[in-house]
Amino acid sequence: MKKMLSTKEVAKYLGINEKMVYSLVSGKGLPASKVTGKWIFPIHLVEQWVEYNTVNYPESVRPLPAYEGVLIIAGSNDLLLEKTISLFNDQFPDQIAVFGNMGSMGGLRALRQNLCHIATSHLLQENEADYNFDYAGQELDKMPVIVNFCRREQGLIVQKNEKSEIQSFADIGKPGIRIVNRPLGTGTRLLFDRELEKQKINPAKLEGYLNEVNRHMDVGLEVLSGRADVGPGIRPVASLLGLGFIPLRWERYDLLISKERFFDKGVQFFIGLLHEQKFVKIAQELDGYELSLSGKMVFPKKP
């Protein structure tokens, strides 16, 4: 088990008094669990929470090297993205695209630090009416170009309906339900935690809430194996594995690119693929994707 801190220890770690710790748990989402009436704090989640809430990062002094045939993509993972990267590598044998699975916030940070050409993100804004713009504005010194990759359906991956005790989101709060979760900093976790708050479900009481896996497919495999009853994820995974799915919303999954690197050859080749029939065919073979915005610039918006 990963190291746990007491209230006193986490207060010392953060350099605050113990009363402030309780305020951060209730008001700012400091990750915590209650065991036999006492709060405990998983140190790795506290560290992630601190990083997630950091502002005013120092500006990177390391420029991304000139494009020489290696396209670096980082951020939120996706089945269609994986297949499109494979298509890119097949279509352009003198280029190579690689992907770092870091979650949406990790992708934005990689873009800020000049570690990638493209960041993938699906961070739902506070008003729940749009995606990524506010987060990009907070995280980056300059707003990037934002091109839509696809729209996809987010929800809960469960056992097939006739086997599942979970027929709605509220059923997650039933005693004995086992959760598999995504890490902090992922757009899926952000949506999941918001829905728990809306349903007034206490995460600390959910078995497996701290059981985090790094990919949507891993969520599906945990449910398929019976190690978990439910986990947040996307319809394409549920469909591919023959599992049940409870939809929450369609989301916009975007590509974020710094303006200085937008016209790099590999970036333009990759965006160009989104207009090709081969890409459309791949998406049509998977449930839960919609391509009406794919390849279109959503920021800056045309006047």
Q: What is the CATH number of the domain that holds 146?
A: 3.40.190.10
**Global confidence as pTM:** 0.81
pLDDT value at position 20?
83
pLDDT, tens only, 92-145: 999 999 999 999 999 999 999 999 999 999 999 988 999 999 999 988 888 999
Lowest-confidence pick of 7-11, 249-253, 277-281? 7-11
pLDDT at 163 over 70: no
> Smallest Cα–Cα separation from 125: which of 198, 189, 48, 190?
190
* Assigned domain for 59 exists: no
167 and 245 in one domain? Answer: yes
215-234 core/surface letters (b: 16 or more CB in 10 A; e: else): bbbbbbbbbbeeebbbbbbb
Structural domain ending residue among the three candidates 250, 272, 287: 250
Structural domain contains residue 62: no
* 97, 89 Cβ separation under 8 angstroms: yes
In a domain, residue 58? The reply is: no
**Does one domain contain both 168 and 210?**
yes
Q: Do 76 and 146 share a domain, yes or no? A: yes
Tell me which residue range forms the domain holding 35.
4-52
Residue 73 phi, psi (nearest 5): -115, 135
Contact present, 96 and 291 (Cβ < 8 Å): no
Residue 301 clears pLDDT 70, i.e. is over it: yes
- Give domain status of residue 215, yes or no: yes
Does one domain contain both 235 and 263? no
243 in the same domain as 193: yes
Same domain assignment for residues 81 and 116: yes
Structure tokens at 58: 């120092």
C-beta neighbour count of 61 within 10 angstroms:
6
Domain membership flag for residue 276: yes
The verdict on 236 and 261 lying in the same domain is no
As a whole-number percent, the residues of the chain with pLDDT over 70 amount to 92
Q: What is the pLDDT at residue 1?
A: 47
The answer to whether the CB of 72 falls within 8 A of the CB of 115 is yes
How far is it, in rounded angstroms, from Cα 59 to Cα 218? Answer: 35
Q: Are 218 and 227 in contact (CB under 8 A)?
A: no
Q: Do 168 and 184 share a domain, yes or no?
A: yes
Among 7-11, 32-36, 164-168, where is mean pLDDT lowest? 32-36
Cα 12-14-19 angle, rounded to 5 deg: 75
DSSP letter (8 states) at residue 204: G
Q: What is 75-114 written as a DSSP string?
A: ES--HHHHHHHHHHHHH-TT-EEEEEE-HHHHHHHHHHTT
pLDDT value at residue 100: 97
Is 285 a member of any domain? yes
Does residue 144 lie in a domain region?
yes
Tokens of 101: 């699975």
Residues 117 and 160 in one domain: no
Residue among 191, 31, 209, 39 at smallest CA distance from 126: 191
Residue 174 to residue 166: CA distance in whole angstroms: 9
Domain count, the chain: 3
Q: Are residues 40 and 162 in the same domain?
A: no
pLDDT reading at 60 higher than 80: no
10 and 134 in a common domain: no
- Whether 161 and 246 map to the same domain: the answer is yes
Answer whether 73's CB lies under 8 Å from 90's CB: no
65 within domain boundaries: no
Name the band, by pLDDT with cuts 50, 70 and 90, for residue 29.
Answer: confident
